[in-house]
Amino acid sequence: MDSLLSILIWLPILGGGSVLLIGNDRGSLAKWTSAVISVLVFILSLNLFLDFDTSTSAMQFVEKASWISQFNIFYHLGVDGISMPLIILTTFSTILVIIAGWEVIQNRIADYMAAFLMMEGIIIGVFSAMDSMLYYVFWEASLIPMLLIIGVWGGQNRVYAAIKFFLYTFLGSVFMLVSLIYMYNLGGSFAISDMHALPLTLAQQSWIFWAFFLAFAVKVPMFPVHTWLPDAHVQAPTGGSVILAAIMLKMGGYGFFRFSLPITPDASSYFAFVVIVLSLIAIVYIGFVALVQKDMKKLIAYSSISHMGFVTLGVFALFSIMKMDSNGELISIAGASIESAYLGLEGAMIQMVSHGFISAAMFLVVGVLYDRLHSREISTYGGVVNSMPKFTGFAVLFAMANAGLPGTSGFVGEFMVILGALQANFWYAFLAAMTLIVGAAYTLWMVKRVFWGPVNNPEVNSLSDINAREFSILAILAVAVLWMGVYPQPVIEVMHVSIANLLEQALTTKIPGIL
Amino acid sequence: MMNFNFNISELVFVMPELFLLAAISSILLFDLYVKEEFKKYTYHLSQAALLVTGLLAFNLIGESATIFSGTFVLDTLGSTFKVFIAGFSIIALVYSRQYLSVHGLLRNEYFILALMSILGMLVMVSGHSLLTLYLGLEIMSLSLYALIATARDRAFAIEAALKYFVLGAIASGLLLYGMSMIYGITGNLDIAQIASFASLATLEPQETLILNFGLVFLVIGVAFKLGAVPFHMWVPDVYQGSPTSVTMFLSTVPKLAAVALLVRLLIDGLSDFQHYWADLFMILAVLSIAVGSLVALTQVNIKRMLAYSTISHIGFVLLGFVTGVLEGYGSAVFYVFAYILMSLAAFGSIIVLNRSGFEADQISDFKGLSKHSPWFALIMLVVMLSMAGVPPFIGFYSKLFILQQVVSEGYVILAVIAVIFAVISAYYYLQIIKTMYFDDADKEIVVSAPFDLKAVLSVNGVLILVIGLMPSYWMNLSVSLF
């Protein structure tokens, strides 16, 4: 199909529009329409995987049409090994949230489903845009449905959380807009590939790097601009939390891959240390913050920040592992092998996909409990295993994955990043590996207090175990988590050539006059 | 000195103005002499007159002439502006009628005064001598003062009319003072003659000084009409005090005429002094964006909030003129078009909430609108996001266009200031969205609107999205005017 990406973008957006027209009064029809559309989009998106050519780093499934001619802005889409897994993650997660909201959402059901469908299309647009202005339009537009999801279907303090979420990310991204315009005025093109090739001095790169950094760091989120995330997660409905954690955070990580490294390679190398320190703070300090949370969603939110620290660590550790010599050959610093540079970047990618599964699963687990007792407080629960044995089985599996148990997807990404970081600097790896202890501590302690132990609350005894709908969502995620844990090879193969290309770009200086 | 030639064949170029003047006179007589039951047709006749005026102006696009001994110019910019003035006014009158009829203010003088002020705007747009420009400005302004005062039993409206009149008169005085300085040194009222005088390489320092002196007053006059800080004091009070339909009219079409005044005086007339007036505009622009964004944060009256929002939008428009290149001017004009489209929809949404005995002008009046009337809430959501500059709506592209021009002329720091305040202003636009979507209604909401208003408002809202998705044509059009 020539226009597969366009279909993937516009089918859910227009589908969402038609679900809006169906209206809240015909909730059942709206739900089924949404479910059909989301499944259809997922099946179509599998074509990206099946027809993907793993031997090239060039963009595939490319579509290009003139859009805003006076600025040379094109409706230009394409995917490579970095964006393709994230698109499939998006279509996959959307099915989950639509099924997860099935009986739970009573209020304005059609609007709810439509918001998630439109969000799906917009985010696929973010991951497939090859023109930076098209990218920016999708990037900003994705805030709108999320704002409404948090604000309309959220918890007690939803208004504060929704507006904080919007303004934080908006502030981050306007600086990216200015730097995109700045580069357009230098190079005369908004195409991302032209920006990759644009020569920039170190001073220019530094400004652009920090402008990008602000946009992506807020989204990831990195310490110290992470404070919107716990609020947004706690207040968002379950589906909103799932999309936020599983996909929207990945938009930040993807930005580092697509923009920061190739466009500002020298500045990235120059400031890599700062990013690594912030990542390590996120991994260790935020892990400790998670330990003391009383609210389950908040705990998982902080654990998300901690896990996303691996993504940025894996990306920026690269500059301590490899450099390019004056002949344009990649050589290692301090005797590391070239594989360890791949380990960092590919580990970061795997970590993004894996975190998409695990965080989605964890938020769904909390959602199952919340739907029953309407409390996210850990202290409300205790001994849930007595009344919900099947559910506890899943919950413990996902908790183990969150703690990074080998055999689950959580282990693979973190282990790869730690191995890569070890080649860069022993202390990076040491501090990052702390998460295996801290992460296990906060996750397992939560499991202990919620699922095991004595029953403190008489209502816990009367809990009904998960129904078929909940079972199926959790089972699908369990399969995904285990599959990625045992056999991540297909995902690595898909991205390998693209990562190699990125590695080359990231280590090639752009400063005119050098080389 | 002035040799005034009159050639009858030149009248073809003033057909829109001539027709509108004739139409106003006939409608006035019609309204005077027909029986009571036919008086309601005054509205329809006014709309028809505007439509024909717009078509006549559209017909003249592409023609270019300077007539009446150089006092009146016809060019693509002028004709296009006239078409837009007529078109936006038609929308504004559709919204106005509903508001006026639910509040018992529907008197036919309203439409006649509106048409009269539109005539003034058309004259301003084509004015090519200081005298014609001033004449057009006064026809417009005097009609607007009277328009506000049509709500004669409302104390706030009378206060607003008086305030606008007094401050407007001061501004006109300053503008006249500047014009007299320019006339004194150049010996000419004709814009083309002034331009050729200002471009002389042999200007004495004394002459440059006096031209600059006059220039400052021209800029003040224009800034007052646009409502740029620090000449914005009248804007919030007048917006709040006027009947909502007049506020809508004030905040939209006259801005286009004021931009035309700016183009005629400063770009056609004094483009050789561009670096002088651009510096002044830079200060006005930054102050307007900052004050408009910050002060709006605390408003609870939505008309007052939109007044400050207008001030900040005007700041963006002025940024486009700071660049001093034709594309930059084009970006400013595109911004004005976009702003008017958004502003019309915003006030249209407010008017929809008005009903007999209930004046909707508080932000809290929007509470729970999304449940009661999802479609109008969605339109207001689109308008607010667009004003905040969130893609994919037209407001984003107008900001993008301005920022691109500003950055390409090397003012990166101006662009950074502008986007920071854009984020701050997003907060109060989000407050409206919050009120509509996240709050529950605490009183009865009645959306009362006849079919024509609903249809026009829907089209207006959809245009904000559709032009946002396909802005290319409109951007090209704006640039081609210069």
Tell me the chain A residues in contact with residue B427 when contact means C-beta distances shorter than 8 Å. 163, 167
In contact, B230 and B287? CB cutoff 8 Å: yes
Q: Does A270 touch chain B (CB under 8 A)?
A: no
Q: Does A459 touch chain B (CB under 8 A)?
A: no
Q: Please state the rounded mean pLDDT for residues A442-452.
A: 88
Q: Does the distance separating the beta carbons of A185 and B434 come in below 8 Å? A: no
Q: Does the distance separating the beta carbons of B437 and A152 come in below 8 Å? A: yes
What is the rounded CA–CA span in Å between residue A195 and residue A184?
A: 8
Which value does ipTM take for this structure?
0.91
- Of B385, B407, B420, which has the smallest distance from its Cβ to A181's Cβ? B407
What is the rounded CA–CA span in Å between residue B54 and residue B69?
A: 25
Question: What is the least distance, in Å, from the CA of A185 to any CA of chain B?
Answer: 6
Q: How confident is the model at residue B430 (pLDDT cuts 50, 70, 90)?
A: very high
- Do you find a cis peptide bond into A221, omega within 30 degrees of 0? yes
Q: Does A10 touch chain B (CB under 8 A)?
A: no
Tell me the chain B residues in contact with residue A148 when contact means C-beta distances shorter than 8 Å. 437
What is the rounded CA–CA span in Å between residue A30 and residue B214?
A: 65
List the one residue out of B412, B34, B155 whose CA is nearest residue A204.
Answer: B412
Q: Does A274 touch chain B (CB under 8 A)?
A: no
Tell me the chain A residues in contact with residue B397 when contact means C-beta distances shorter than 8 Å. 68
pTM, to two decimals: 0.92
CA dihedral sign, ordered A146, A151, A155, A161: positive
Question: pLDDT tens digit string along A83-122?
Answer: 999 999 999 999 999 988 888 888 888 899 999 999 999 9
User: How many CB pairs (< 8 A) connect A and B?
Assistant: 84
Report chain B residues touching chain A, CB-CB < 8 A.
370-371, 374, 385, 390-392, 396-397, 400, 403-404, 407-408, 412, 415-416, 419-420, 422-423, 426-427, 430, 433-434, 437-438, 471-472, 475-476, 479
Can you tell me whether residue A325 is helix, strand or coil? coil
Per-residue confidence (pLDDT) for residue B17, from 0 to 100: 92
Tell me the chain A residues in contact with residue B430 when contact means C-beta distances shorter than 8 Å. 147, 163, 166-167
In contact, A303 and A399? CB cutoff 8 Å: no
Question: pLDDT tens digit string along B23-32?
Answer: 999 999 988 8
Tell me the chain A residues in contact with residue B436 when contact means C-beta distances shorter than 8 Å. none
Q: Does the distance separating the beta carbons of B471 and A147 come in below 8 Å? A: no
Query: Which of A19, A22, A68, A149 is the best residue to mutate to test the B interface, defined by the most B CB atoms within 10 Å of its own CB?
Result: A68
Q: Does the distance separating the beta carbons of B419 and A178 come in below 8 Å? A: yes
Q: Does A292 touch chain B (CB under 8 A)?
A: no
User: Over 60: is that where the pLDDT of B303 sits?
Assistant: yes
User: Over 60: is that where the pLDDT of B2 sits?
Assistant: no
Domain count, chain B: 1
Per-residue confidence (pLDDT) for residue B1, from 0 to 100: 46
What is the rounded CA–CA span in Å between residue B46 and residue B82?
A: 16
User: Over 50: is that where the pLDDT of A502 sits?
Assistant: yes
What is the rounded CA–CA span in Å between residue B91 and residue B456?
A: 7
In contact, A376 and A295? CB cutoff 8 Å: yes
Per-residue confidence (pLDDT) for residue B462, from 0 to 100: 93
Question: pLDDT tens digit string along B180-217?
Answer: 999 999 888 989 888 888 888 788 888 889 989 999 99
Of chain B, the percentage scoring pLDDT greater than 90 comes to 60
Question: What is the least distance, in Å, from the CA of B72 to any CA of chain A?
Answer: 32
Let me know if residue B81 belongs to a domain.
yes
Distances (CA, A) of A97 to A12, A83, A298: 14, 21, 19
Task: Read off the tokens for B321.
Answer: 């003129």
Question: What is the least distance, in Å, from the CA of A370 to any CA of chain B?
Answer: 21
Quote the strand ranges of A15-86, DSSP E: 60-68, 73-79
Question: pLDDT tens digit string along A335-344?
Answer: 667 777 788 8
Place of tokens 């004259």: B123
Q: How confident is the model at residue A18 (pLDDT cuts 50, 70, 90)?
A: very high
Domain range holding B276?
A: 10-480
User: Over 70: is that where the pLDDT of B3 sits?
Assistant: no
Question: pLDDT tens digit string along B72-120?
Answer: 999 999 999 999 999 999 999 999 998 988 888 888 889 999 999 999 9
Query: Which of B390, B411, B431 is the best residue to mutate to test the A interface, defined by the most A CB atoms within 10 Å of its own CB?
Result: B390
Region of residue B99 (phi > 0: left; psi between -120 and 50: alpha; otherwise: beta)? alpha
Q: Does A70 touch chain B (CB under 8 A)?
A: yes
Q: Does the distance separating the beta carbons of A141 and B391 come in below 8 Å? A: yes
What is the rounded CA–CA span in Å between residue A488 and residue A480?
A: 10
Tell me the chain A residues in contact with residue B385 when contact means C-beta distances shorter than 8 Å. 144
Can you tell me whether residue A157 is helix, strand or coil? coil
Let me know if residue B5 belongs to a domain.
no
Distances (CA, A) of B139 to A279, B50, B73: 65, 17, 18
Tell me the chain A residues in contact with residue B426 when contact means C-beta distances shorter than 8 Å. 166-167, 170
Name, in order, each residue with C-beta under 8 angstroms of A171's C-beta and a sequence gap of 6 or more. A214, A218, B420, B423
Partners of B463 in the beta sheet?
A: none
Q: Does the distance separating the beta carbons of A148 and B415 come in below 8 Å? A: no
Q: Please state the rounded mean pLDDT for residues B398-415.
A: 92
Q: Does the distance separating the beta carbons of B423 and A67 come in below 8 Å? A: no
Q: Which of residues 474-493 of A touch B (CB under 8 A)?
A: none
Per-residue confidence (pLDDT) for residue B4, from 0 to 100: 65
- Of B374, B412, B423, which has the smallest distance from its Cβ to A182's Cβ? B412
Q: Does the distance separating the beta carbons of B422 and A152 come in below 8 Å? A: no
Helical packing angle, B451-469 and B374-388, nearest 10°: 40
List the one residue out of A385, A394, A359, A368 whose CA is nearest residue A476.
Answer: A394
List the one residue out of A237, A376, A178, A388 whose CA is nearest residue A293.
Answer: A376
Q: What is the dihedral of CA B166, B167, B169, B175, to 10 degrees?
A: 170
Query: Residue type for B220, please?
Result: I
CA dihedral sign, ordered A409, A411, A414, A418: negative
Tell me the chain B residues in contact with residue A152 when contact means C-beta distances shorter than 8 Å. 370, 437-438
Question: pLDDT tens digit string along A463-478?
Answer: 888 888 889 889 999 9
Q: Please state the rounded mean pLDDT for residues B254-258.
A: 93
Q: Choose between A331 and A202: higher pLDDT.
A: A202
Partners of A66 in the beta sheet?
A: A74
